[in-house]
Copies of this chain bind each other. A is one copy, B any other.
C-alpha cells in the first residue's frame, strides 16, 4: 500500500495552533497509532511499515507531545537543579557542567535559584519531587536536619554537590584536606600574624571544614592561628572587604589574611590596598576557588583550584546513570574529587 497523500487535514488545538498528533501520522501511514508509538520507541515493527511511518512523520512534521508522554510514562526528562546563587563563578561553572551532560543525554534543566535562602531550598525540594522532575541535583551549602529529612524522603533520585552528607549521594571536594595543605604551605613562607575570614560553620564544607583544616595546617607547621583574628563573612566581596577593614583597624600588625573564598579574598585585597597602598594586597591574601578574574588581575594569589565544572559533570552522570538504569553498578554513590594548590 502506498502512502495516501492528499490534502492534509490538520486539527486546530485549544490554543489555536496547528498540531499533528500521532493518530494523524498513523492514518497517513495506514497503520495504528500503537505502531507509530512502537516505531518511535523501538518496539516490534516491520521494515515497510517503519518506512511508511518515517515518511508520514517527515511529511507532517509531527513531534510528539512531551506532556502526554510524561503523563503516561511518569517521566519528564527534566532534572531539577537547585543552586544557592546563580550569579557566582563557582556555581555557574557547576551549572555549566550539569547542563553539558544533561544536553548530551537528552534531558533538560529546571533551574531553581534559592538566593541563599535555606527555606527556599526546602521549598523547591518539595516542589520538585512532587512531580515534574525525574531527578534532582542540589548544589548544597547549609545542610540542616530538615534538609537531611527532605533528602531522605525524596521521591526521586538526588545527588548533592559540594557537601558530604552521610547516606546521600554526593560529589564533593575535600575542603578540610585542601585547607590543611594550604595552611601548612603558607605557614612555612609567612612571617607575622595571620588572620582568617571564613563563612558560617553551618556551611560544613566552606565554613567549618576550611577553617578547621586551615587552622590545623598552620598548627602543624608550628604557626597556629590566633582565634581573635578570625572573622565571618558571607561569601560576598563586600563582606570580605568589611571584615578585612575591621581586622586591619583592630590589629594593624596583621600581615596576611586568608579567606574562605576567592570572592571575599578580592574584598580583603581591596581593603589592604586602601589601607597600605595599591598593589600591596596581592601578596597578603589567599582564597579558595581559583577565580579566573582574580587570577588574571593579580597574577595569582595562593588559592585552591577545584574542578567545579567536573563536579557538575560527574554528579549529573551519576544521577542519569541511575535514572537510565545503565549497567546497574554505576549508581548513586559518593565521589570525592581532587584539588590543586595554586601559587604557593
Contacts and interface: CB of A to CB of B under 8 A. Distances in A.
Contacts of A93: 87
Interface stretch (A37-45, A66-74, A216-224, A327-335): A66-74
A15 B134 CA distance: 11
A36 to B, nearest CB: 17
A336 to B, nearest CB: 23
A234 to B, nearest CB: 15
A297 B266 contact: yes
A99 B113 contact: yes
A270 interface: yes
A292 B17 CA distance: 45
Interface residues of A, number: 57
A31 interface: no
A88 B108 CA distance: 20
Q: Which of A81, A109, A241 has the most chain B CB atoms inside 10 A of its CB?
A: A109
Interface string A165-201: 0000000000000000000000000000000000000
A14 B263 CA distance: 47
A279 B294 CA distance: 14
A299 B241 CA distance: 13
A289 interface: no
B76 A67 contact: yes
Contact of A293 (B78, B92, B130, B237): B237
B237 A63 contact: no
Interface string A83-103: 001111100110110011001
A110 interface: yes
B108 A109 contact: no
A30 interface: no
A54 interface: no
B294 A131 contact: no
Nearest to A297: B297
Contacts of A108: 110, 112, 132
A52 B92 CA distance: 46
Contacts of A294: 293, 297
Interface of A: 13-15, 17, 63, 65-68, 70-71, 73-74, 76, 78, 81, 85-89, 92-93, 95-96, 99-100, 103, 108-113, 115, 130-132, 155, 237, 241, 263, 266-267, 269-270, 273, 278-279, 291-294, 296-299
Counting from the closest, the 7 A-B pairs by CB-CB distance are A87-B92, A293-B293, A111-B111, A99-B113, A67-B70, A67-B71, A297-B297
